[in-house]
Each structure stands twice: as C-alpha cells, then as structure tokens.
A and B are shown apart, each in its own frame.
Chain A
Amino acid sequence: MTVDTAKSTYATIGEVRQAIESGRATASGIAEAALARIDAEDGVIHSFLSVSRERAMASAEKIDAAARSGNDLPPLAGVPVGIKDVLTIEGLPATAGSKILEGYLPPYTATSVRKLEEAGAVVLGKLNCDEFAMGSSNENSAYGPVKNPRALDRVPGGSSGGSAAAVAAGMSVATLGTDTGGSIRQPASFCGVVGMLPTYGRVSRYGLIAFASSLDRVGPFTNTVRDAATVLGVIAGHDPLDATSSPLPVPDYTADLDRGVNGMKIGVPAEYFAEGLDQEVRAAVEAVIDRLKTHGAEIRPISLPHTRYAVPTYYVLATAEASANLARFDGVRYGHRSAEANTLSAMYRRSREEGFGAEVKRRIMLGTYVLSAGYYDAYYKKAQQVRRLLTNDFIAAFADVDAIVTPTAPTPAFKLGEKTDDPLAMYLADIYTVTANLAGICGISIPCGQSSEGLPIGVQILGRHFDEATVFQVGHAIEKAD
C-alpha cells in the first residue's frame, strides 16, 4: 500500500549540494532522476498537475555550467523543487486546481518562485491542490485528488496536498505550498514531512492566486527543519510588489539551529488538547513535550481562551475575502467562458457555474452573504473583532513563553471520501491551524511519530510574529531527539 520512499536518491538540500560540489552528480542528472521518479510514481500519487521538463533541464544545465567553471554555487543549486499550482510561473500553466483556469498561461512569475530559481532551484512542475486552495484533503481539486504516499487509501491533507506528497514520495527535495488556514501544516503532518508557515508579510504574495488575502502565506515543504530554514531564507524578504510584505531584515535561519531548547519557555495551551483530539495524536505530542522538558525547556501550561471561536471566525473572514478575490474569474479576459451564454449576465453566471467546483461556490456564497447590506456588522465586522481577540490571546501568551506546542491536526490522515459529504467535519480538520493564520504568527509542523496504523503524526510549533528562528530551533531540537 505504500510507495517505497527509499528509492529517493536525494532527500535534502545538503545531499544535493554535496553531490554536485564533489562532482559525484550533476544538476542535470539529479533533475533527470527526479523527473524519472515523477514518471514512475506520480501516476498513482497524482501530485503534479503539470511537469516543466524543459524549464527544469535548462535550469539544471545552468547550474552545471557554473559548477564546471568553478563558480560559487547558489544556496539551492540543482535542488529539484515543485510549486503549488496557485503560484504563477511565466508561461507555465497555473490552474489553481480549477477548471476555470484550464489553459491559462500567466505572463509573469511569482516573487517567491523567482527567488527560488535565482537561488539555483530546479522547478520540476506545478503541484496539485484543492481548488483555489479551498479544502483540507486535496479532494476539491478539479483534476482529481492526490493520494497520501504513506498510505494510498488516505488523503494527503490539503489544500497543499500535492506539495506535501511530492516531498514525501521523494519526487522533490523541497516544494512551495500556501497556507490560509492550515494548508501547509496539516498536509505536512498527514504526509510525514516538515511544513513551514512564515509570519504574515515575511514572504511576498505577489503571484499567489489569492484565496483570502489577509490570511494567505507562501511557505516550504521539506524533509528536514534545516531545509525548511534554508528555503525560507531564500524566499523571505520585502517585495516592492506586495504592499503587505514586511521591510524587516531576514536573519540567517540556519545559523543558530543547534541552539537547543535549554532554558526556553514553551507553552502548552489547554484548548488544543480538548475534546475531538485523537488519543494517539495526543500521546505522540505529549511525548514531544516530555522530550523538550528533558532537553531543558521549561513547559508552561497556558490558555488561549478565544480558540473555540477560531474556526467560525476563519470561515467568515476567509470566505468574505474569497468572494471578492474570485470575482475576477468572470470569463471576460481569461479562463473559462461559457459557450452557452447570450447575454452579459448569462455569460457571468454560466461561466462561473461551469468553471467553479462545489466547495468554491459554497465559499463564494458564504462570503457574499457575510458582506451583504444588513449582515456585515453581524458577521464580517464581528469576526474582525474576534480576530483581534484571538491575536491578543497569542500576544499575551508570548509575553510569557518563547514558543507554543500543539498537535498540528486532531487526527492522522483520514480516508479518501471519508469527509467529502460533510463540509463541517472537513472544516474541523483545521481547528488547530487556523488560529495562527488569524493571528498572523508563524508556525511549523514536524513529524513526531506514527499511529498504530503506521500513519504519520505531526506536532505544531507556533512562534511570535517574525520569530521564525525560534520556531526552527525548537523544531530542529524535536527532530534530532526523535
């Protein structure tokens, strides 16, 4: 039932670098191997929506030329990467997992992807995801679901299911995903890889096809915390093309990775260990907490009292923003236009009816409703106020602790089809992750063991605004102690 991940030749950025620097391998060879692995494995997993063989080989050849002439290699030289299909790359398809963008070729490249490529990464292709990043299982992709490489009858999580699966299956050393309510961390936990949510404003959103602009983040999937730190260091930083990107300088996240947790104060919020938490997940996370204590961390019970309002708050704000962000898909300039329509209003209605999937329509309707005259105050405005309270919970907690540890998801990966008929049950898969998006803080999901069925379990570390460094240090300590 599982894919043999041992077939992956290179699992980390360090291994790729060593191989190329030592002359044992070329970037072209590594890219060929990665592409061959996609050919061999991805028929089953379905993590890639499109493969950019020519672009990959051209990038790899450039690295090889640089290596041959003895030039210094950039930080991600020859590293095979995949990009979630909500990020644009000039001339490559960008479907956002939706039929409405089938055949659309963007004329420009997202800032995060441009930075990856400038650092020497080799883009293999675009990765499957829930339509417009709306979903927690990748089953909302208009191009079919992704299978969890650790258990093929299970979902990989979502919405960045393809990004998590591609790393888990050894088809990419690193991938980019996006996280609006948990869409990096939850699939990372389901697939047994590392998934990083940077602070809001840390990584440019330019070229990210927006779901909910005030919540969307771009972040990496990798096999190790060190690699996540390396990739974030490459893609982070101010972008003049994104007015919400932060001008704060980007530290070297790998410099103090080995600092350890000795003397750190780590908070454990009671609200994240309540009803609905799977017992095996609880046990695995509590084991992590024990190990942190053993390594010298001071564990403090804390309270984040507004946690229970997070999911409803999220579904008001995210859908409100989505209803506006998805208005541009109207059949006028690009994407799907219904062949059936004879009037302007019919063109809008039919194009959107035919182009969007059920979950996207559900969220557009919900978001349109909460912004409507007479309802705005009761829903949108109220939700903004609750968002402020949730943020204040974290700010108060971080006055006392350096990081917070929670489960990433309440359960391990669930079965394909298990929750597709019950949107509310699906929404609760994000119960531990939406809070960080609402509060704007950073976080990471790290593998911390397996269930009795052999399914990966993830632990989430949350950190202060722009304190990714601490999150990486704690994550690295957990990973080493494992």
Chain B
Amino acid sequence: MSTTASVAPELLAKYEPVIGLEVHVQLLTQTKAFCGCSNKFGAPPNTLVCPVCLGLPGALPVLNKRAVEFAVLAARALNCEIRERSIFARKNYFYPDLPKGYQISQFDKPIAEHGWIDVDTPNGEKRIGITRLHMEEDAGKSIHDGFPDSATRTYVDLNRCGTPLIEIVSEPDIRTPDEAYEYLTKLKEILLYTGVSDCNMEEGSLRCDANVSVRPRGQEKFGTKAEVKNVNSFRFIRAALEYEIERQVEVIEGGGRVVQETRLWNANEGRTYSMRSKEQAHDYRYFPEPDLPPLIVTADKQAAILQDMPELPEARRKRMISEYEITAQDAQTLTATRAFADQFEAAAKAAKSPKRVANLVQSELTMRLKAANLELEQSPITMKGIAQAADLAEEGKLSSKQLKQLFDTAFERNEDFGIVYEREKPQQISDPAAIEKLIDEVIAGNPKQVEQYRAGKKTVAAFFVGQVMKLSKGQANPSLLNELVAKKLDA
C-alpha cells in the first residue's frame, strides 16, 4: 500500500488539514431497532427478517427500548448532553438494500449533542468536539460479487436491515491523520467499555467516513471538503487522509480548485477515487417520521439508564495507578479491554502483591504474547494463573527462573499456569540439613569469598545464595536458604 500523490514536504507544511469524522456503530441489542427480529451477524441471507424490516406494505416500526438505553450510555460516555425529547426522521433515497425507500434516522433533533473526547497528541492532550450522536437503522447489504452471475446481477441480503446504529459526528477539530487515528482509537475504547457495541470493523459494526479539507496555514476559512468513504480500518483511515491531504494540496498548488465530492478509498491501490460530485448528491428530503412519536427520555429515565454506566477507561487507569501502585504504562496495558481490566482487578485484589501481578503481566506475559503473536484475550495463562504465580513468587516458593520455565511450558502447551504448576511443581528442598550440606560444599569451594564476607563485605552472601541455588538446580527453598547462608557464614 502506498500513496500515489507525492508532494514536497515543504509544500505540504504550508497547509493545515481540517478533518471531521462520522462514525457509525452497530448496537449490541438482542433484537433490531424497530422489530423483534434477532440482531446478529452471520446468519444465512434473508433469514432474520419480518414484515417490518422488510418494509412490507402496512408494517410499522416500534422503537427498541434497549437501543435507546445503549444510545444514552454511549452519549454520556462521550460527554454528550442528552435531549429529553428527540425526533426520528425519514431520510429518503432509493436503493435495493433499503426496503422502505427511506432510512429511519434522526435529523435536526438528535438524541444527544455537544460531547467531546480528549486525545493524546505530540503537543499534549487535545479535546476533539462531538457535534451530535443520533440513532438510526442500518440498511441491508447489496452483494455485487461472489455469485456465478455477479457480472449481470446484484443480490440483496436484508438481515442487517433495521440493525440499531448510532452515528457519532465529530466537530472539524482534527488537524492531522494521527489525531484522527487517536480519536478513533479512544472512541472505540470508550464504546467497548460501555458494552453497547463490539466495534468490530471487519464485520462492519464500526464504520467510519471522513470529511477532509486543507487551508493555507493562518487562514480561518475552511477549504472545500471531500468526503472519503469505504475505509474499513483505522490504519486505512490514516492512510486515506494522508493521501487525500496530499491530493488536495497538489490540486491547489497546481493552480486548481478542490471540488466538493464524495470519494471512495481503494485500499489495494492506496488512493481515493471520485464517487459523486456535489451536483449528484442526494436530496434526502428529511421530514419527521410520522409512524414514531417523539422519543422522550426524561432526566429520571436518564439517571436510571446511567446506573449501568461502567467506569470508563480514563478514570479507571487513574484509579488503578493509585490503588495498585502501578505505572501509567502498566495501567494502559491492563485496561486494554474492560474484560481484561476486570480480570486483572479480580486477580490483583486476591493476590498478595498487586504490583507483582502487574509486573508479571507487563514483563513475562506481554513478552510471550508478542512472541506468539497473540492478543491478551487469547493468552493461555489467565489472570487467575498470573495471580497464582505472583503469590508463589512473593512467598519465595518459586524462583524467577522456575517461574519463567513454567510460563514457557504454559505457552508451549497452551495450558493455564495452574495446570502446568500442579503437574510440574518444582521439588523444593526445604530440609535444613540438606541445604546446609549444599552450603558447606559451596563454602568449602570458595574460601576467598568467605574471607571477604568475614572481613565485613556482607553483600557477598548473595553470591553464596546464588551458588547454592544453582547447585540445587533452583530447588532450594529461597527463604530458608537465605537464612541458613547467613547463619553458616556468621558462625
């Protein structure tokens, strides 16, 4: 993948990009937005349908209460103000995967407005505004390829029709492709925490369109924007924006004018193509949906819904840093997903040293996951296993070498730590006589070090501990060993 435009960096630097993002998120409700059909991905085509989502004559929509609750949760998590009274509207256009000929959406009175997300930038934290969050229904899918007669026919799967969506529209506050990437990453993290969506871009449960323009630095007025669609990963969003910014600068520097249009991203070629101009743009003829009364979400109702609001990632990280005395980086790793953070906290609370649990995750676990190319959720060692290992180490029942070996075995055999430990529990030598025998052997073999110790260099004790441990093949009980080494040397 490469961008085809090539603009000199000094020319590019003369311009400031202005970016706004529109993100569609499917809600994880059991049923669809306006009917009782099951809302799930991957069923055989046209099996999750009924008169309502098929748009059959006479069928009427009835709003899914759960979808409203999810929208309210998402809106508050994104710092939006919730409207007590919002209005559904019909967005009119013809397409074979839109059975009613209109999409039920919200227009001038969306359920939520005026939110924000704080993102990290090279110049510190930056607040990106959210203009609005509104509810709508998804359309079906037109399938243009994969069938023997795809050259002449389009197939339509209406299972997705009526899937509840929220659309989150950002302010044009984003100035670089990296900021766009950060915004999307934060947005996804927050939504995953609220549990309203799985935000799976491959399955289309999170989709993003980008509006982008450029203007000479210092100019207040926005340039003419292009809308970029069909981008199915955050990485591609960044690439598409980089391409589009360069393209627009090239047009302007070449004496041309950017035209307002919709452009499609082609991931294989790493470039955008014009899809339709402003003149061809749809007039959606929005008007209030007469089949649905205004949506009323009173302050009391909002409060009831928000009782289900989980602790959000930012707040959770802050709390975990102080509660478990871990680093900001530990906190970042441990809160990668809500489920993982939950597991960590359960393990940390049960463990003797939360700090040690965090360290094990950060060092031993992360390293092995990276080597095995696994995500946290795919780890053979669960948080419970980590906690068990941490406790054993804390109690001196496990040397760090033994622990590493057990972790290696767990990854090799795809087993949890507890299972491996039970089977291969290192035989620990806790018989003082046996340890003393080993110590005597080491003392006899290292008279020089004994001399140093007795001359007052007490740190040499560690040398003896290490040597004895080696001699015991790591099986000497570490605390007993420490105690006996000191006793022998001081004798």
Residues of A at under 8 Å CB distance from B? Answer: 86-88, 94, 96, 101, 104, 106-108, 110, 205-210, 212-214, 240-244, 320-321, 323-324, 326-330, 332-334, 344, 348, 368, 371-373, 376, 380
Contacts and interface: CB of A to CB of B under 8 A. Distances in A.
B94 A241 contact: no
23 contacts: A94-B57, A104-B57, A106-B51, A106-B57, A107-B56, A108-B56, A206-B60, A207-B58, A210-B58, A241-B60, A243-B61, A244-B291, A244-B292, A320-B287, A324-B100, A327-B101, A328-B101, A333-B54, A333-B55, A348-B94, A371-B92, A371-B286, A380-B287
A108 B99 CA distance: 17
B269 interface: no
A326 B90 CA distance: 13
A293 to B, nearest CB: 40
Interface in B41-82: 51, 54-63
A334 B56 contact: yes
Contacts of A110: 58
B291 A328 contact: no
B60 A324 contact: no
B226 to A, nearest CB: 20
B293 interface: yes
B96 A321 contact: no
A107 B51 contact: yes
Nearest to A335: B57
A241 B62 CA distance: 6
B5 to A, nearest CB: 33
B283 A205 contact: no
Given A244-B291, A373-B283, A101 B92 contact: no
Nearest to B61: A243
B285 interface: yes
A240 B65 CA distance: 13
B63 to A, nearest CB: 7
B291 A243 contact: yes
Q: Which of B58, B94, B96, B102 has the most CB of A within 10 A?
A: B58
A245 B101 CA distance: 24
Contacts of A376: 285, 287
B102 A324 contact: yes
A328 B62 contact: no
A243 B92 contact: no
Instruction: Report, as a range, how many residues of chain B touch the other chain.
Output: 20 to 34
Contacts, number: 103
Given A328-B99, A330-B101, A106 B56 contact: yes
A110 B55 CA distance: 15
Q: Which of B55, B283, B285, B286 has the most CB of A within 10 A?
A: B285
B63 A328 contact: no
Contact of A96 (B54, B57, B285, B287): B57
Given A107-B56, A242-B62, 18 more contacts: A88-B57, A107-B51, A208-B58, A209-B58, A210-B58, A212-B290, A241-B60, A243-B60, A244-B60, A244-B291, A244-B293, A324-B285, A327-B100, A327-B102, A330-B96, A332-B99, A334-B56, A344-B154
B235 to A, nearest CB: 33
B392 interface: no
A205 B51 CA distance: 14
Q: Which of A106, A243, A320 has the most CB of B within 10 A?
A: A243
Contacts of A373: 283, 285
A126 B58 CA distance: 15
Contacts of B290: 212-214, 244, 321
B237 to A, nearest CB: 29
B382 to A, nearest CB: 44
Nearest to A201: B293
B58 A87 contact: yes
Contacts of B56: 106-108, 334
4 A-B pairs with least C-beta separation: A327-B101, A214-B290, A213-B290, A371-B285
A147 to B, nearest CB: 27
Contacts of B285: 323-324, 368, 371-373, 376
Contacts of B54: 333
Contacts of B57: 88, 94, 96, 101, 104, 106, 209-210, 328-329
B156 interface: yes
Contacts of B99: 328, 332-333
Contacts of B283: 372-373
A96 B293 CA distance: 26
A242 B58 contact: no
Q: Which of A106, A110, A327 has the most CB of B within 10 A?
A: A327
A374 to B, nearest CB: 9
Interface in B241-287: 283, 285-287
Contact of A324 (B59, B96, B101, B154): B101
Contacts of A96: 57
A373 B278 CA distance: 14
Given A243-B291, A243-B293, A244-B293, A328 B55 contact: yes
A94 B59 CA distance: 13
A332 B102 contact: no
A320 B289 CA distance: 11
